[in-house]
Structure 1
Amino acid sequence: MSSASTVSSAPPRAISLSDLALLLTVLIWGTNYTVVKEAVGSMPPEAFMSLRFALAATAMAAVLHMREGWKPLPRATWLKVVGLGLVGHTLYQYCFVMGVAKTTVANSGLLTSGTPVLTAVLGAALGVDKLRRPIVLGLVLAVPGVVLIVSDRGPGLDASTRTGDLLILGCSLCWALYTVGLRWLGPELSALRITALTMITGAPGVVLLGLPSVWELRPETMGPGVWVGVVYSALVPLVLAYFIWSRSVQAVGSSRTALYSSGTPVVAALTAWLVRSERPGGWQAVGAALVIAGVLVSRKR
């Protein structure tokens, strides 16, 4: 009883560097939806997935080599890293890119809106995190907010999008498992090393899945904007944002980190409005307010 009273009466925490870093990640990933949509309109999604991830993994390997060098890891740690690489990169990238290609943007947002809840539930079930009251209240506000944002676009779960919808659901599960699994590696590995090693171990699968489409590309038929999209989506959302995400999970826990990802559809909707003239509706504004409220509530002690 006394602990509950303390939780409810404590003032909000001051904004930390971790909070600001998570907000930056939300901005990066939210705008990336538009970047990816524009790129896959001129390039097969499998080829786009393969090229951008090969570039991202190479860049992360180079950064790791320059900053920390290559150090041996215990066998048990390597097994965890490989597992996270396969789930959080190989499977996730395939499900995400192919899912978006086979369903609507609205469906993608709706089906991934439950990822924070899934992450929190998995974290609690596996004993990695605790479902504290502020986080639960934040999730109660944020998840319906995301649903309002995407449902205002009129999503439909019909037969024509069923394959893509299932892939997006798989994408959400992969991301939840990856986020929770990062805590199993412990504090002895830096965020940079975790991000780089999981990307390196996940890269072969991603590249091989898209290799046939890469061989069939005709670069002369593609404008420079497509290649700018490949480079940007490789270096910023994958390299920079993944690094921030890994570091934030270590600092504040997977449940609260996952909650911030609820803001990604808000940024995605605003970016689509500005770049693609997809004007948000009234319910989307209400949803955005709920997401922001959820983040603020979750930051209470």
Structure 2
Amino acid sequence: MRLTPRLAALLTLPPLLWASNAVVGRLMVGHVPPLTLNALRWIVVFVLLLPLGWRAIAGAAARRAVAQRWRELALLGLLGMGSYNALQYAALVTSTPLNVTLIAASTPVWMLAVGALCYGERASRRALFGAALSLLGVAVVLARGEPARLVQVRFVAGDLWMLLAVVAWAFYSWRLARPGPLMRADTRPAWNWAEFLLVQAVFGVLWAGAFGVGEALAVPQASVQWSLPVVMAVLYVALGPSIVAYYCWGRGVGAVGPAVAAFFANLAPLFAALMQGALLHESPRPYHALAFGLIIAGIVVSTRRKQAPR
């Protein structure tokens, strides 16, 4: 499907919200254990979704339809809800925002790799060139216009968690685009976006809750330092980066495919840099414009259709 302005907007909003999620996650270090934060997030998401998607689990027939597809839904819940943000929050405890952003910027590469290895999707030269342009734009942001900064990056244990998170997200996105036989549009129940996200959240809450309990048992001294900012942070990451972002991402991936959508994820570091600048009362720099141009160029190159020969 051709990339329209509406689809571009759908795919731009998630990285904006995810950039803010990384900022909030960093602020919560020391206040909420990372796996507990993820569990609280998805519990709140489940509660917020119930008024919108309750029909998906109400009644014997609806529950039977979910039970028939439990393997696929459990996998989606594990990859997209139980793992990705839990690993990201865990990475922010020991790693730096710079490293986490740099690793997350490799998403298009992992999307292309998963597509080639697991789904037989051969990456075109256009897609590879687009990925290179987008990654170059991300590098400009991370280096703040000074390439020498990139060689100063030091990787720590938390970087491995973020790498695993990116791989999990790549598999999650491909499972949305290439679902199993019972989860295709013509064979699954006519769930709307809220109902589909709710049935994923049923299993996502179980995974996230299990990981949160495991964290509490493994690190008993870690506990939630409840306060109004902590409550507001949990509500925000449940509403914005979760419900709104997942809705837009799911619609966008379903329309253009995960490989193309992955290029929009590279806007997150740029948004994060702008948010940091706003919090520090610093105006955007010229390298922000350069990075934005490179990232957009990567998106345009990767989504532009090749003209048929006359």
Give the TM-score taking structure 2 as reference length.
Answer: 0.80
- Conserved in 2, the CA contact under 8 Å of 1:113 and 1:146? yes
Partner of residue 52 from structure 2, selected from 60, 63, 66: 63
Aligned residue identity for 2:26: K
Is 1:146 the counterpart of 2:138 in the alignment?
Answer: yes
Rounded to whole Å, the distance in 2 between the matches of 1:68 and 1:17 is 31
* Bigger mean CA offset, 260-269 vs 181-190: 181-190
Is 1:20 the counterpart of 2:2 in the alignment?
Answer: no
Quote the offset at 1:115 in angstroms. 0.8
Aligned residue identity for 1:31: S
Is 1:217 the counterpart of 2:221 in the alignment?
Answer: no
Cα–Cα, structure 1 residues 276 and 177, in superposed 2: closer, same or farther, change >3 Å? farther
Cα–Cα, structure 1 residues 215 and 263, in superposed 2: closer, same or farther, change >3 Å? closer
Partner of residue 185 from structure 2, selected from 184, 187, 193: 187
Partner of residue 168 from structure 1, selected from 162, 171, 174: 162
Rounded to whole Å, the distance in 2 between the matches of 1:150 and 1:283 is 10
- Conserved in 2, the CA contact under 8 Å of 1:262 and 1:291? yes
Cα–Cα, structure 1 residues 103 and 134, in superposed 2: closer, same or farther, change >3 Å? same
Is 1:78 the counterpart of 2:70 in the alignment?
Answer: yes
Quote the offset at 1:210 in angstroms. 2.5
Aligned to 1:7: none
Residue 21 of structure 1 aligns to a residue whose secondary structure is helix
* Bigger mean CA offset, 180-189 vs 210-219: 210-219
Residue 53 of structure 1 aligns to a residue whose secondary structure is helix
Partner of residue 202 from structure 1, selected from 191, 204, 209: 204
Quote the offset at 1:107 in angstroms. 0.2
Residue 73 of structure 1 aligns to a residue whose secondary structure is helix
- Conserved in 2, the CA contact under 8 Å of 1:64 and 1:193? yes
Is 1:117 the counterpart of 2:109 in the alignment?
Answer: yes
* Cα RMSD after superposing both structures: 2.9
Aligned residue identity for 1:182: L
How many residues are matched? 285
Quote the offset at 1:33 in angstroms. 2.2
- Conserved in 1, the CA contact under 8 Å of 2:74 and 2:204? yes
Aligned to 1:6: none
- Conserved in 2, the CA contact under 8 Å of 1:179 and 1:254? yes
* Bigger mean CA offset, 242-251 vs 32-41: 32-41
Residue 30 of structure 1 aligns to a residue whose secondary structure is helix
Partner of residue 25 from structure 2, selected from 36, 45, 69: 36
Cα–Cα, structure 1 residues 210 and 290, in superposed 2: closer, same or farther, change >3 Å? same
* Bigger mean CA offset, 274-283 vs 192-201: 274-283
- Conserved in 2, the CA contact under 8 Å of 1:87 and 1:178? yes
Aligned residue identity for 1:169: L
Rounded to whole Å, the distance in 1 between the matches of 2:166 and 2:265 is 11
* Bigger mean CA offset, 43-52 vs 174-183: 43-52
Rounded to whole Å, the distance in 1 between the matches of 2:86 and 2:119 is 28
Quote the offset at 1:157 in angstroms. 5.1
Q: Which runs of 5+ in 2 are unaligned?
A: 306-310
Residue 40 of structure 1 aligns to a residue whose secondary structure is coil
Cα–Cα, structure 1 residues 289 and 68, in superposed 2: closer, same or farther, change >3 Å? farther
Partner of residue 235 from structure 2, selected from 231, 237, 258: 231
Quote the offset at 1:139 in angstroms. 1.3
Aligned to 1:126: 118
Rounded to whole Å, the distance in 2 between the matches of 1:215 and 1:114 is 31
Rounded to whole Å, the distance in 1 between the matches of 2:297 and 2:167 is 25
Rounded to whole Å, the distance in 2 between the matches of 1:278 and 1:102 is 26
1:11-55: CA deviations, max 9, x gaps? Answer: xx5634222111122222222222322333533333322212211
Q: Which runs of 5+ in 1 are unaligned?
A: 1-12
Aligned to 1:8: none
- Conserved in 2, the CA contact under 8 Å of 1:150 and 1:284? no
Residue 69 of structure 2 aligns to a residue whose secondary structure is helix
Residue 96 of structure 1 aligns to a residue whose secondary structure is helix
Aligned residue identity for 1:216: S
- Conserved in 2, the CA contact under 8 Å of 1:96 and 1:171? yes
Quote the offset at 1:134 in angstroms. 3.9
Quote the offset at 1:208 in angstroms. 3.1
Give the TM-score taking structure 1 as reference length.
Answer: 0.82
